[in-house]
Structure 1
Amino acid sequence: MSIEDVCCEGYERKEENGVCLPKCHDCGVGGKCLSPEVCLCDAGYSNRDNRSVCAPVCSEPCVNGNCIAPDVCQCANNYRFLNNSLSVCLPICKSSDCTNGICQEDGSCLCRRGYRRNETLDKCVPNCPNLSEHSDCIAPNEQRCHDGYEGHWDQEQNYRCEPICSSGCPNGRCLEPEHCACNVGFGHVGNHIEAGCEPICQPACINGTCAAPNHCLCQPGHVPTNGSQHICTPSCRQGCENGVCSAPGECACNEGYKKLTPHRCTPSCEPQCGVNARCTAPNICSCHEGFVMANGSSIHCEPHCSKQCYNGICSNPEVCSCLSGYEAISPYYCVAKCSHSCVFGTCAAPNVCRCFNGYRPRAHDPYVCEPICSEPCNHGRCIAPEICECEPGYAKRWPSGSCEPHCTQKCINSRCDGGRCRCYEGYRLRDGSTSICDPVCSPSCINGECVEPNSCKCWPGYEDTKLFYECTPVCRPSCQNGRCKAPGRCVCNEGYMLYNTSALHLCHAACQERCINAECLRPNECVCMPGYSFISISSSECSPDCSEPCEKGSYCAAPETCKRLTYRALSSDGTGGFSKWSKLGLTALLCVLLVMLPVILTREYLQRRQSRKDKQRVHLIENPSYGVCVANTEELPADQQIELGD
């Protein structure tokens, strides 16, 4: 008895390997039959309608077509895809062109709204009920005029296309594109129908233009002749400035001039005058008011400021413009500008703060300076340079020291250390004193006094220089041909000397030899006055010049002036005619000089002595807790010392 294997219902045996596999109707491409009549579909297929059949799936429904593959539609017979669509199918029209229409299922074309069927053209064309002449309907109720016409709405709100004439047809009207019809008394310009119309004058105008029919208008510079209506003659009635009238209505400029207007000639400069300059005469440039020639140039001018612009440039006459990052505090002085106020400092450069002495910039805020205490303020905080504010129960022994038990000794410009006063940095102990320290300036102050370490204060009549230790004297007004040696005192340069005691700042040239009929303009150099010349073998004496020789018995007494010789005998006492009063005047003048000389020398001596005393003055820093500021004194007496309160 033999045994035969039989596949279960819904399964079938494969001949290749004899395995029983489930049967499905159609699992499609890539699908798999999981169990009888149950398919596992591949991507793009679905068995939602029939579990044993895998049908393709289209993400968009196929309108008037079938889905034949994943996302692939096939239109039905007599249908085609709509434009660029792959899922919507429309009927195919029998007509060749259904643009601006909708194709019906029967193959006919139904025009859209605003269009009508043109059987001749076999297409849908736009519909314009009131189509204007000389226009085309390009869209529903939208007209476009033919070339050479332009459209506009008339008073009855009808669209009209009118011809265009580029000339505008003055004195006429436009009949057709570029075709003008002239009014009576007018004719085409240049006999061209597309041109405008101009008036006609008979006879023709001479030196004039026809302004209206048979009415001439003379050209500029012309006037009618003897009441004639068509003949004009030239005229230069307005004159010719810097020129001559060489032709009717025209001016010919003089040499070196060029025409600015028909009746005005202006000077010509070659090369041309630069900015802020004008040509005032042939080849001569002059600057505008407030401007001066720039660095030896003869054509370029630049603005002039009577004072130097500090941190700025002279941009206009007497107007200084500050450099970037600076602002003006006076018409000629600009200072740096910072976006924030500098606390305990000054704005030294744009947005750059410079801290005061004893301060430093805060780490996270460059516009705020904080005081510096060289030693830590134990049991306190730094509130000012080298000054600590102690906590309750503590006190400072010196201004820049830390907070600790106080020292009863009063130290001036110094701190108490082990019962002794030790000077602050930049100070030294005064000779003969054990508690007073004076500031030190190195080098020593010149014409000033040392008020802080390496900080000098100038004496009255002196001013600061770039060197902190040097002060220079000030002379107002400034010395001319000399230098300021002391406040208000000028010393003349070599070859110059003072002549006027009321003008001690003016030094005049000095000549060893007396200048006769000449002026001493430079040291030891005489310059003859006009009409005079140096006599032979002399550089200081000048004699008058006479172009014609003087007659016998006469001499040249003044330029071009001859005078006869006269003789006068000496007086009987041999004085040559000096009167008694002249002698008395000379004697009185000599007495005044002998009295004033000792007074002037004494005044100079007292000024020098006072200056030496001022150099010894010293400004001291007050110790708010343990000492006082004293100038030019030794230690205070015991009964005047200031005790520290408990």
Structure 2
Amino acid sequence: MLIIKAFILFIAINEISSQICNKTILETYRIHVQKTIDKVYTEYNNITGRYVLKTKPETTYIPEVRSRPKVIQTCCPDYARVMNRCIPRCDNVCENARCTAPNTCTCLPGYQRFNDHRCIPICSNCQNGRCIGPEICTCISGYIKDENDTCTPQCDNCKNGFCISPNVCTCNDGYYMYDDDDDDNSTCVPNCSKGCPNGFCSAPETCTCNSGYKINEETGLCEPFCPTECINGHCTAPNFCTCDDGYYYQLHERLGKGYCMPKCSKGCQNGYCAAPELCYCDSGFERNSTGDCVPVCNGGCTNGRCIEPGRCECLPGYIKANSSNQCVPQCRDICENGFCSAPNICTCNAGFTLIEGSTSRCQPECEEDCINGVCVSPNVCICKPGYKFISGSKSICEPFCEERCENGFCSAPGVCDCNFGYRKNNLDICAPYCEQSCTNGFCKSFNTCSCYLGYEMMNNTCIPTCDSCENGDCIAPNKCECHKNYKKDKNGQCKPHCKKKCVNGYCSTPYKCVCKKGYKIDSNDSYMCHPVCDNCLHGTCVSPGNCECIDGYQLNVLTQQCDKISFTTESIVKKFSRTSHFIPFTEIINTSDPTERTEQIQIADVIGPNIRTYKNENSKMFWKKFCNSTTCPNGYCVKEDCYCNEGFSKNIDDICIESHIDTCATYPKKCLFKLISLIYVILLTVLVVAILILLCYFIFREDNPKRVKLQYDEEFRENLYDIPYPPNSQETSVI
């Protein structure tokens, strides 16, 4: 261990010895030679009453300079003497480094070499930032540090998306960017490809219905909901049924519910309306030729009156036959092929004649054939079951249909065929027929369509209607489908689509951005609008008409142009602590142009509380002011200048410190005392100046011997640096 320490000491001694060299110089020394000179003095002449000049001999000592060779130790070439030490010289300033050997810079801890004389700070992770010190990273504009101390892009609002660059948000899958032209905000909103009529898109391809609506599992759209099934109708609004044609809405008072009931214009006495204009008679009743429901008496009620179902009341002179409801006249003899037409009167049926010699027997006679019937008496046909006589004929029978054959005719017993222009529907009722399909409507009459609610007729076609469908196609009532490259906004309006956000502009047509006022489109990026400034030479246009100057320039408030910063510094403090990162320097030459400074300037990167050095394109040093929270405590920055907060004022070091206000309005006595003290100081200063002027007059008179000696001393001292006096001798020497 001792050997290692000795070796290190030996190397240090050799290094020190390599910095010190021997040099022979001419040593000058001074001696004082005794001489006699004529001293001029004044004497008052009592005769003339004036002062006259006279001389008298006087011995004095005049300095004389002599020289002799001397070997001294001085710093070797490329080394400079600083505070009795020889330190290496570096032609260029060692930035963030120490000059450890001639023209050799060694980086400070935490820095790495950038070039021969400059070291830059080291940051392990400084992406999207600027390394301003060892492991000190400052994010660039538009980025902030996250919990991992990493600079990440910042976006004002990026819900349902992720920020890829400053104020540029990319939406998650199932979301799209909605641009609100009114408030200049963009938001990622969920996308529902089919839209959400009667609801809103709460998540990608997921509609949340409004109150009173529910999701149709097949279509995924919101449809109105009715708690009670709309029989013979359809639900057109929440809890509201619209009845089909031929039906009307009737409220059941006891149940408190409404139903769509069929409508019969003439009513249905002794029956009920089973379908539009179709009455079904109650049990024991049947429809007559006029369509009214009348009571039915089994077997009829001839010569009587059916007063209720199954009950016949006979006319006077008539009785019921065989315990039935048939009322027949009462005759003594049976009327064969005839009937007792009146009490005790036998009348043959039509086509029958009484048998000759008989008063009660009738013989039938038929002249024509009974079609679909049977001749039961002369010239009288009885139709077969399911048939009835055609109008105006007694021998031709036609099929009979018990139910009314509306809009058709009965072609066989119980078989109804529709008239021309009609077809049977699902209810086996003849309904109007249209050769072309009535899409979005219904057939009102032959080849005549009527549109559903929410549709209108155009060119014999029912098309949906929408309140507003600009830049889109109306595909269903109030359902608009946007054209290609258009998307719906939150108000359901079709807006043009751009593949990415228009920065400082808005999307006017598909894939085309229009810049806001004061901005112009980027020649390389059609979605980026840059601010426009009339004249921003030596600066950057950060907003319309707002120019931010580059380093070395400042904004002229009158011309709004960046002017070069001028320098009028006299000199700077000549010493800094060697323990800090500052480098000693000599002096700054007065100049207003930093490019004219000489190479002898050696200066650190920070030379004052708010002054920082820079290099121009010619590698010449120059400095400028800067301002931040460190250099401007208790104040605020306006560009490069520091302004103190209320209650603070600047001291002689240009630092904001707490000020103690002592105004004359608050302390009048103190103010008067200060005024008197100021007057006293001014009078005392005038007196001292007057005394100094008188002293100078007597000292610097030309005939003053001491002044002559002083002139020699001053001329001698101008060429000397340090003149120590040897002991017991008047001789002095200087190196």
TM-score for both structures, normalised by structure 2: 0.26
TM-score for both structures, normalised by structure 1: 0.30
CA radius of gyration, larger in: 2
Higher strand share: 2
Which structure has more relative contact order (CA 8 Å, sep 6+)? It is: 2
